[in-house]
Amino acid sequence: MHPFELTILGSSSATPASNRNPTAQLLNVDGRFFLIDCGEGTQMQLRRYKIKFQRIDHILISHLHGDHYLGLVGLLQSMHLLGREKELHLYCPKELKEIIDIQNKYSATKLTYSIIYHFTNGETSELLFEDNKLTIHTIILNHRIPCTGFIFREKPGDRKISIEKLEQYEVSIAEIHKLKKGLNGLDNHGKEISNELLTSPPPPTRSYAYCSETCYFEEIIDQIKEVDLLYHEATFLNNMLERAKMTFHSTALQAATIAKKAEVKRLLLGHFSARYPDLDGHLAEAREIFNNTLLAIEGEKISI
Ligand SMILES: [Zn+2]
């Protein structure tokens, strides 16, 4: 199967912690690179993990708190200095354009490439991206300022043809296109042959939901139901529930509760407060509710 793989570039909230950078992740879908959030230092992290900047054609920014985008201007600048010519697609709140424009204005920079903006809105989920293999929709989260998560879903692939079966049932190669799409084929005598006899199902589709910053918010459950991997912020442990509520963040226990109610396959925790030097507490607390939980650790790759 082709890759559907996440690399963690940063998993800290607000201020950087030793060994943890602010939020950024890279999703590789069959060789296409999607950068998800871009906290300060993301370009250094990309270098560190040997990910080529110029292979990134899509950048998604969840919201305009600095720990999710302060690395973006630097990265855009580096792409420019490296002579990028390819268009770059940026999915973000509309105000981010103003921030980027003003940086370029006062540094008298005319980028060597175009940025194609796709503005998100914090109120209704919408389709952000679609091609023949993948869709990306926004997830409306509940944070202090408008904030969207992102859900990536593979489209079902073609059915797999068995050449042996084609021969056995005397079905010509010209029928392949129909068969791949699930239609029945005709044999050389004009008789209809059922698709199931000639093909096998495509590999299962995969999905990833990214919930960057939110308080406990059950409204997202329907949309993220049964995803293969759910990233959910877990800024605090549950003994700081009041603080989590006040700051519109979640605890590890709350993230796990959402994962359980949404019946996801795996939960990935991140956005850890700098007050936690180690994360064993987060893992233990979440696993009490939802066993299949992982921590977002920088440099780790998670195959979906
Ligand atoms: Zn925030």
| Residues whose beta carbons lie less than 5 angstroms from ion ligand 1 | 65, 213
What is the residue-level pLDDT of the chain in tens, covering all 304 positions?
789 999 999 998 877 666 889 999 999 999 999 999 999 999 999 999 999 989 999 999 999 999 999 999 999 999 999 999 999 999 999 999 999 999 999 999 999 999 999 999 989 999 999 998 999 999 999 999 999 999 999 999 889 998 999 999 999 888 898 999 899 999 999 999 999 999 999 889 999 999 999 999 999 999 999 999 999 999 999 999 999 999 999 999 999 999 999 999 999 999 999 999 899 999 999 999 999 999 999 999 999 9
Distance 28 CA to ligand 1 centre (A): 25
User: How far is the centre of ligand 1, averaged over its atoms, from the C-alpha of 147 (Å)?
Assistant: 8
* Distance from residue 15's CA to the centre of ligand 1 (Å): 12
Res 14: pLDDT: 73
CA gap 85, 9 in Å, rounded: 25
- Å from CA of 143 to ligand 1 middle: 7
Confidence (pLDDT) at 232? 98
CB 131 within 8 A of CB 153: no
Per the document, the length of the chain is 304
**Residue 263 DSSP code:** T
Whether pTM exceeds 0.75: yes
Distance from the alpha carbon of residue 3 to the mean position of ligand 1, in angstroms: 30
State how far the Cα of 246 lies from the Cα of 81, in Å rounded to an integer: 42
144 CA from centroid of ligand 1 (Å): 7
Tokens describing residue 275: 């007050």
Give me ligand 1 centre to Cα 219, in Å. 18
The residues annotated as belonging to the active site are 67
pLDDT tens-digit readout, 14-36: 776 668 899 999 999 999 999 99
- Token pair for residue 109? 């920079």
pLDDT of residue 118: 97
Task: State the distance from the centre of ligand 1 to the C-alpha of 146, rounded, in angstroms.
Answer: 9
Beta-strand pair 56-60/88-93: parallel
Distance CA(31)–CA(35), nearest Å, equals 13
